[in-house]
Chain A
């Protein structure tokens, strides 16, 4: 009897060859290749653990190589908390098959039946025999030359010795002792590039006094192409100085193209829009049925929740390294999608994609689509001016703050009706936002790479079309997981965003869950029910109930009345299909309205846990970042320029303000991996707003949440 073939994941269907994924080196090391990028989320560690586990080799033998258009699998983009689900699942199957094949070779070599073989760190022996061999003797430096069959069975979870157990991040040590990032690359003959961006989206270069650079030593090239301006110098400080002089010598004509941040929501709500009903998480191209309020409701509540434009604000401004060698361009980028960046660069540069290789190199955390791809085009444009020399382009802090694509503003309107027993009998959710997908997909006649907008001839920004698939940007997590008697969910896609926007961690889930989970507390209050009980009464999924109950229990929810502090709770299952997460926040509100986070408790179920500390790190990091968005962050702009241009004008949460955070994982060995990188992004703002309401009685619905003015007016 043969085992049924296992269904191959999409990554494996695209790349069934074992050699794409695994290489056994003659020196006893094992190379594992993933098509994903290390963004600080720990994918190198997860892949190393999964591969080492299935192959039966020590973690120390494993080296993980990340996305490269010339090598390894094309796994599209590193987005949406999909890295472990896609690449981890693929690696598990590939490594199981590689082990199976290596054991078949060993059986021949040792003249022993397969069933008698044991493996310890790549050394294979037959039970009761002294004879042994190793993976590197059997296949070191050679190809598997085989494809995945789907027939090998991965190990049973109870036999795991690496997966699910604590351990150290595989890439951390090198980052604690020196330079391990893209911007630390220093090839022979390195030159330094800087760009001079226009002061605002609507600015055009009208004149430039190039003599400004005359006195400056070390300048190797000045690139001026329309309103695109860049400089290459031998030394970094020369490039920095040249940039300053050029910025001062450039005259720009500025058009008022923006509404100003005070009018951001008004502008969003009055934009031309296309509307879609959302059914089971997916938008549907069908006429919108009007919302009809139910008959016989005991109470009906309505509320509007606002999320401003917010930044990724990576701690490292974007950078890229490029070199043009005899018509062949190589670019090192911290992009989330080197396979998409390659054709976009080819389009912008008028090259054949085959002439371009894009290699992922580690950047700082990005949390979505930041300036990485734009910096890659900048570097390519500057490298073209100095053929044969590698050019490292480093954006300034201002470049990143003012030009990165922001997470778009959102408006969520909710209406809910209760019956006399305090159950929700009707739910209506309408969300308005711009696209959450501004990535540089190559579209003829337009571009989503900044330099393309400034060169001559300029290309316009690519117009986004609404995405309908389940939990795409705007309607991500708009469909609540709760079992309501009746619900209606509507996505309003607002055309033509005024600011540059794209994917920021969690996409629409951040504001949708903020609204849903805030509103659940408002309804619970109206129904006279405890917020936890109210949620459980509307929740059938046992795994959802388990994370809520775990978080509540660990946080001391039953004693919340005695805590003397505000305590708030919120929950979501990311995309209704991935990691379950509940967050309880404890905070204090000072008399002047200052909000101090004291403690947070997270409970999560991400299926089978590969790396418990890595998972905890993602959940906690998501909480802290989301708390920062929620309490502090809003992109400010006037009619011409972005005003949030550095850390003073766009402050984020600091070490002095971060609460104690504890995380409880519910491990499900043997069940599928569930992406967790964005799971706490949505529950966090609602848990905070609910805790503020508990502490003060004030219901805050506009992010960033501040209550100084509200408390003052409540006292009058």
Chain B
């Protein structure tokens, strides 16, 4: 059995006994039951697996869990407080900002990380941040609307 690895996820210290090369995505989904982050390509090309690690939006599909170290991991499951959704989730609900919504959890975390750096991102900032996320349904216009709404709510 490999040495357990300690990672801090959504404010909790977790110990997982896995091969240290295991991508963070599989640890989150299968060992910790946090299945919001999605497998989309495994190639860091689509952004569906994005979570926040140490304050930065990171694709978790190719990041070995042993490289997380002491950095705090935040996933979609760590956003809501009880039944109260996070303002970014609330904005997506208000704008019906999805079709299939498979790409959305990754996008939520990208926006959470962006708004932590800059409470009033410009339109080019927003689009640049989202450029690493692919959406195939064409929900882009409403996702951008939700991102702008989230920025307004967080700034308030």
- Same complex origin of A and B: yes
Chain A residues at the B interface, C-beta cutoff of 8 Å: 39-42, 168-169, 172-173, 175-179, 181, 183-184, 186, 235-237, 240, 313-317, 362-365, 367, 394, 396-397, 613-614, 617-618, 620-625, 627-628, 646-648, 652-656, 658, 660-661
CB distance from B43 to the nearest CB of A (A): 6
A617-B139 contact, Cβ under 8 Å, with A169-B98, A237-B19, A365-B99: yes
Do B134 and A39 touch (CB < 8 A)?
no
Q: Does B93 contact A (CB under 8 A)?
A: yes
User: Contact between B96 and A235 (Cβ–Cβ < 8 Å)?
Assistant: no
The answer to whether B93 touches A168 (Cβ under 8 A) is yes
Question: Is B93 touching A173 in the complex (CB atoms < 8 A)?
Answer: yes
Enumerate 19 A-B pairs (CB-CB under 8 Å) in ascending A order: A175-B104, A176-B101, A176-B105, A237-B18, A240-B42, A315-B48, A316-B40, A317-B39, A365-B100, A397-B40, A397-B46, A617-B139, A617-B142, A621-B139, A624-B139, A625-B138, A646-B45, A656-B130, A658-B144
Instruction: Please provide the chain B residues from 53 to 112 with a CB less than 8 Å away from any CB of chain A in the complex.
Output: 76-77, 79-80, 85, 89, 92-94, 96, 98-105, 108
Cα–Cα distance between A646 and B36 once the two chains are bound (Å):
23
Partner of B137, one of A235, A362, A625: A625
Question: By the criterion CB–CB under 8 Å, are A177 and B36 in contact?
Answer: yes
**Chain B residues with a Cβ under 8 A of chain A:** 18-19, 21-23, 26, 29-30, 33-36, 38-43, 45-46, 48, 76-77, 79-80, 85, 89, 92-94, 96, 98-105, 108, 127-128, 130-131, 133-144
Shortest C-beta distance, B92 to chain A (Å), equals: 6
Contacts of B30 in A (CB 8 A): 186, 235-236
B35 touches A175 (CB 8 A): no
Query: B136 near A176 (CB under 8 angstroms)?
Result: no
Closest to A364 in B: B102
Query: Could you tell me if A655 and B144 are in contact, using CB atoms closer than 8 angstroms?
Result: yes
CA distance A313 to B98 in the complex (A): 17
CB < 8 Å neighbour of B100 from A39, A622, A628: A39
Chain A CB within 10 A, most for which of B38, B79, B128, B141: B141
Q: Tell me if B40 and A658 are in contact (CB < 8 A).
A: no
Contacts of B128 in A (CB 8 A): 656
Could you tell me the distance in whole angstroms from the C-beta of B145 to the nearest C-beta in chain A?
10
Q: How far is the CA of A136 from the CA of B26 in the complex (A)?
A: 43
Residues of B within 8 A of A315 (CB): 40, 46, 48, 100, 102-103, 134-137
What residues on A are CB-neighbors of B143 within 8 Å? 655
CB-based contact B102/A316 at 8 Å:
yes
Q: Output the least CB separation between B150 and chain A (Å).
A: 12
* CB-based nearest A residue for B40: A315
Instruction: Report the minimal beta-carbon distance from B124 to chain A, rounded to whole angstroms.
Output: 9
A621 partner residues in chain B, CB cutoff 8 A: 99, 137-139
Cα(A313)–Cα(B42), bound, Å: 15
Contact (Cβ within 8 A) B43 A178? no
Q: Which of A240, A316, A625, A648 interacts with B38 by CB under 8 Å?
A: A316
Given contacts A175-B101, A176-B76, contact A624 B141 (CB under 8 A): yes
Return the chain A residue nearest B19 by Cβ: A237
**A367 near B136 (CB under 8 angstroms)?**
yes
Question: Bound complex: CA of A652 vs CA of B45, how far in Å?
Answer: 11
B42 touches A183 (CB 8 A): no
A236-B26, A656-B130 given; name 13 further pairs at CB < 8 Å.
A175-B98, A176-B108, A178-B35, A179-B36, A183-B38, A235-B22, A314-B136, A315-B40, A315-B137, A365-B102, A397-B46, A621-B138, A647-B45
Contacts of A186 in B (CB 8 A): 30, 33, 35
In the bound complex, how far is the Cα of B140 from the Cα of A627, in angstroms? Answer: 12
CB distance from A163 to the nearest CB of B (A): 16
Given the known A-B contacts A178-B35, A620-B142, are A172 and B43 also in contact in the complex, defined by CB atoms under 8 Å?
no
Docked-complex contact B22 and A396, CB < 8 angstroms: no
Q: A618 to B143, alpha carbons, bound, how many Å?
A: 14
A240 to B133, CA, bound (A): 23
Whether A654 and B139, one on each chain, are in contact in the complex, defined by CB atoms closer than 8 angstroms, is no
Bound CA–CA A168/B85 (angstroms) = 15
Residue from the list A173, A622, A656 in contact with B127, Cβ < 8 A: A656
A655 touches B96 (CB 8 A): no
When the two chains form their complex, are residues A613 and B48 in contact, meaning their CB atoms are under 8 A apart?
A: no
Please name all residues of chain A whose beta carbon is closer than 8 Å to the beta carbon of B85 when the two chains form the complex.
173, 176-177
Residues of A within 8 A of B103 (CB): 315, 364
Instruction: Kindly provide the distance from the CB of B95 to the nearest chain A CB, expressed in whole angstroms.
Output: 9
Most buried by A among B18, B23, B80, B140: B140
CB-defined contacts of A40 to chain B, threshold 8 Å: 98-102, 137
Smallest Cβ-Cβ distance to A659: which chain B residue: B141
Alpha-carbon distance A654/B126, docked complex (angstroms) = 12
Closest to A624 in B: B138
Contact B89 A176 (CB under 8 A): yes
Question: Cα distance A396–B108 when bound, in Å?
Answer: 24
Complex Cα gap A621–B96 (Å): 13
Q: Which of A176, A624, A653, A660 contacts B104 (CB 8 A)?
A: A176
Given contacts A365-B136, A617-B139, contact A172 B101 (CB under 8 A): yes
Q: Is there contact, CB below 8 Å, between A655 and B136?
A: no
Q: Is the pair B93, A613 in contact by a Cβ cutoff of 8 Å?
A: no
B133 touches A655 (CB 8 A): yes
List the 5 closest pairs (A to B, CB-CB), nearest first.
A179-B35, A40-B100, A624-B138, A621-B138, A364-B102
- How many angstroms between the C-alpha atoms of A705 and B85 in the bound complex? 43
CB distance from B84 to the nearest CB of A (A): 11
Interface pair A313/B136, CB less than 8 Å apart: yes
Taking CB as reference atom, which chain B residue is nearest A392?
Answer: B30
For the complex, give the distance between the alpha carbons of A236 and B31 in Å: 10
Q: Report yes or no: A178 in contact with B76, Cβ–Cβ below 8 A.
A: yes
Q: Are A624 and B140 in contact (CB under 8 A)?
A: yes
Closest residue to B94 on the A side, CB-wise?
A: A168
Contact residue among A41, A235, A394, A647 (Cβ-Cβ distance under 8 Å from B39): A394
Verify B76–A181 contact, CB threshold 8 A.
no
A181 and B142 contacting across the interface, CB-CB below 8 Å: no
Judge whether B89 and A177 touch: CB under 8 Å: yes
Smallest CB separation, A392 vs chain B (Å): 10
Docked Cα-Cα span, A529 to B66, in Å, equals 67
Residues of B within 8 A of A176 (CB): 76, 85, 89, 92-93, 98, 101, 104-105, 108
Whole-angstrom distance from the CB of B138 to the nearest CB of chain A? 3
Residues on B with C-beta less than 8 A from A168 are: 93-94, 96
A543 and B40 alpha carbons, distance in the complex (Å) = 41
Please name the residue on chain A nearest to B129 by beta carbon: A655
Residues on the B chain within 8 Å of A655, using CB: 127, 130-131, 133, 135, 140, 143-144
Say whether B100 contacts A660, CB under 8 Å.
no
> Which residues of chain A come closer than 8 Å to B105, judged between CB atoms?
175-176
B43 touches A646 (CB 8 A): yes
Q: Is the CB of A622 within 8 A of B35?
A: no
| Contact across chains for B41 and A647 when beta carbons are under 8 A apart | yes
Give the chain A neighbours of B42 by CB distance below 8 A.
240, 396-397
Contact partners of B100 in chain A: CB under 8 A: 39-40, 315, 362-365
A618 neighbours in B (Cβ, 8 Å): 99
Cα-based distance from A652 to B46 in the complex (angstroms): 11
CB-nearest residue of chain B relative to A613? Answer: B96
Bound together, the chains give a CA A621 to CA B46 distance in angstroms of 18
Are B137 and A365 touching (Cβ within 8 A)? Answer: yes
Report A-chain residues with C-beta under 8 Å of the C-beta of B29. Answer: 179, 184, 236
- Given A172-B101, A173-B93 in contact, is the A237-B22 Cβ separation under 8 Å? yes
